[in-house]
Structure 1
């Protein structure tokens, strides 16, 4: 019987001759299986509804895809690290509201997007823990009087334990949300940076040049190289958000209805496939693009990005309160703008303080110069998570620890293929 089951397992769906009169796919496969192994086929679905077989298949499928997604996210984080470390000395202006904010490095800026990906690994690990619990042997809703060893079935299928409550095992609507949450989170991170890269690639910014492999030319305008890969990722992120909302809605029906599973069986595995594709595509965009160091470095000091550091320096050097020095530097910047000058001087600070009738002691010119230099500003950043090189090195250690935590868990499961975990064990 086991040999016949293995043979039947290798028969492709399109090779089967379905008869609408028999009913749906499940009933047709049952009838075809009967032709292969005879009346013994009638025992296979004893004590279980068709929903159990579908749920088991769905969880096995999702388990495989989640582990695949974990691998892709780890690869992307590794690529981010490589790119980041090559730009330790690439200075740039950080942005808020798409306006120049403070000097930073491209390394620190890009790590912004690595951190949520490391948290997504933890989310994927949690989703894997949930989906890796067996629903088998639940007897449809409230168990069965048949002596079904649910733990034995879980072991045959390679699951790590049970979804204990038999009715919950057949519906578990939160499992869908647990899987889709990291999917949406990952796509949100990719979407945000894709959007920024598209802007950075414009002539107005000229911070990044995309490879030909991840771009395409305009059909009508031969001079254009469009970041098509990023546009696809951005569109897919929005599309999957719609799928997520749909799955939430179909899981809000009265319990014991098929609505949630009808759509989850199809939409969740497909969503996992899409995000795997997008992570892989973004990896290519990231590793094959070239950042314009000269343009980024030039922008690091533009737009009076050092103003906050001048304020901090004045607080430490003069003991003035923050609001007072904020007014001084703000007025000094306004005067520069009005005078069409692009760089703040110590004289501008003195003049602004005098106009505001604020007594300002003499400032060390070297101190002032140090606080308008992007490199010095970055190196002077203090505290955990800052752009200071030592703080960044600690973050790399924590990132790799998060990777090892998730990868170690996946490796500990020793997940096997369906055939290895079921047919081989059953044959023993």
Structure 2
């Protein structure tokens, strides 16, 4: 059934019908379409545009359609152009002429805008739940690894020693910002477009704010033209999902590196690994690699929608139908990425001794050696030069700073004394760093307690 056709004398070309249809992908928001229609006819009856009997028959018919879809008794086919015409056709079939009044006072333009907003709003709520689970897993790792020493890196070169708790604390902050962005996007988009018509409203005396309230929106949109042509909320969501994916990809990259034989910082669980068809010894981090790879796919959805929207005049244009498939794909993809990352982290084993041994190499305590000299009244720039010479000597003689004799220290600077060994020990290098956000035990304990409170507030 078509919702249009009175002014046409020829059948639509079959190729055009196939190209134009959207039921094959927009059927997924049948719940939102039915919910919006129930709110719409409830308002129409309140405004005496429909009778209470017509309202009740329509609502009963809509609920029966939803029930039959969910039970598998009603299947989507190619007889309808989109989910709106599918629902309306089956409603008329079930209740007769009263079903033809369902569309009174609205257009498919404001209807699809409503359905998409309801669907995206539900999707954001799901993402918040998934991110909460991921944040909980990251916090669990932090709690268990407050004193698990490891090297910190800049430029992928060993820089200074830190702890695994401190390292994962950075990801807690990333995923928390992701959560906050979704909250902000949801708040900004929570305005009902229903009642905007094609773009110029309607002559019926609709109560748009009443419908908005029925559907848990904050209020109705202020401009009917913007209401049907706005896709900013989708662009925001796709941006949010792209950033989430980027964070997941960064963590995946580190897991892939840490899983190599050269690092051996982590051991992937068999349930989140795969093997090789030819090399029997292999245990590949394919899930982490796929998370990293699928991030580009999510970016593609954002760029595609930005490109589709960039040249559109007001108000509605059919180009906007392209918003659905790319948004649905990004939503499905990122849901899977977050779930997989949570599962992968919960099953992963960390090699504490290997991490600590690695932290002791690569002169990660060089900065602390320079700080030692500064505390002995050596200017920092001079201290930097002195320790640079120490490192060069260590490289030439294949020795870590901890293994230098006191004589070797003094050959480069007489300022060094036997207390240098405590000053550059791994424990001192980490534990003495207790400024806010640092890896020292006092600072990381505070960070963990704050993170617990934050997480509790998200429930």
**Above 0.5 in TM-score?**
yes
1:92 aligns with one of 125, 139, 150: 150
Q: Paired residue for 2:28?
A: none
In structure 1, the partner of 2:418 is 365
Among 361, 370, 375, the residue aligned to 1:316: 375
- Alpha-carbon distance change, 285 to 91 in structure 1, aligned in 2, over 3 angstroms: same
What does the per-residue CA deviation read over 1:268-304, in whole Å, with 9 as the maximum and x for residues that have no partner? 2331222111111111111101111111010111011
CA distance 1:254–1:322, shift in 2 (3 Å) = same
Pairwise CA distance, 1:259 = 5.3
1:298 to 357, 373, 389: 357
8 Å CA contact retained: 2:147, 2:441? no
More displaced 10-residue stretch of structure 1: 141-150 or 191-200: 141-150
Q: Which secondary structure state, in structure 1, belongs to the residue aligned with residue 192 of structure 2?
A: coil
Alignment match, 2:190: 132
Within 2, Cα distance between the matches of 1:342 and 1:19? 72
Structure 1, 390-399 or 293-302: larger mean CA deviation = 390-399
Q: Counterpart of 1:383?
A: 435
Q: Tell me how far apart the structure 1 counterparts of residues 174 and 76 of structure 2 sit (CA, whole Å).
A: 48
Partner of 2:335: 276
Greater CA drift, 252-261 or 48-57: 252-261
Q: CA deviation at 1:55?
A: 1.8
**Aligned pair partner of 2:395 in 337, 361, 383:** 337
CA gap 1:232/1:12 in 2 versus in 1, 3 angstroms? same
Q: Does 1:350 align with 2:402?
A: no
Higher relative contact order (CA 8 A, sep 6+): 1
SS of 1:383's partner is coil
Instruction: Report the alpha carbon displacement of residue 405 of structure 1 after superposing the two structures with TM.
Output: 4.5
User: Does 1:57 find its partner at 2:115?
Assistant: yes
Deviating more after overlay: 258-267 vs 299-308:
258-267
Gaps of 5+ in 2: 1-56
In structure 2, C-alpha distance between the alignment counterparts of 1:165 and 1:178, rounded to whole Å: 20
State the SS of the aligned residue for 2:199. Answer: coil
Q: Which residue of 2 aligns with 1:77?
A: 135
- Look up the match of 1:263: 322
How far off is 1:163 after superposition? 2.5
Residue number among 186, 189, 192 corresponding to 2:247 in the alignment: 189
How do 1:167-182 and structure 2 match up within 5 A?
Answer: 167-182=225-240
Partner Cα separation in structure 2 for residue 393 and residue 127 of structure 1? 32
1:395 to 439, 442, 447: 447
Note the alpha carbon deviations across 1:131-178, whole angstroms, 9 max, x for none. 332111112212222111011111222323222222222122221122
Tell me the equivalent position of 1:144.
Answer: 202
- After superposition, what is the alpha-carbon deviation per residue over 1:55-95, rounded to whole angstroms, capped at 9, x for unaligned? 22211111111111111111111111111211112111111
1:180 Cα deviation after fit: 1.6
C-alpha offsets along residues 234-276 of structure 1, whole Å, 9 cap, x if unaligned?
A: 1111211111111211121223243563122232233122211
Query: Is the Cα–Cα contact under 8 Å of residues 93 and 299 in structure 1 kept in the other structure?
Result: yes
TM-score, L = length of structure 1: 0.87
How does the TM-score come out when normalised to structure 2? 0.82
The number of residues matched between the two structures is 397
Alignment of 1:7-46 (within 5 A): 7-12=64-69, 15=74, 24-46=82-104
User: What is the root-mean-square deviation of aligned Cα atoms in Å?
Assistant: 2.1
Q: Which moved more, 1:35-44 or 1:210-219?
A: 35-44
State the secondary structure of the residue aligned to 2:447.
Answer: helix
Distance 1:323 1:299, change over 3 A: same
Moved more, 102-111 or 11-20: 11-20
Question: Which range is displaced more, 56-65 or 289-298?
Answer: 56-65
Aligned in 2, Cα 1:65/1:24: closer, same or farther, shift over 3 Å? closer
Question: 2-side partners of 1:203 and 1:259: how far apart?
Answer: 53
1:386 and 1:188 map into 2 onto residues whose CA distance is 24
Counterpart-to-counterpart distance in 1, 2:438 and 2:249:
24
Q: Is this contact kept in 1: 2:65–2:90, CA < 8 A?
A: no
2:347 corresponds to 1:325? no
Q: Is the 8 A contact 1:62 1:269 kept in 2?
A: no
**Does 1:235 pair with 2:311?**
no
Contact 1:65–1:273 (8 Å) recurs in 2? no
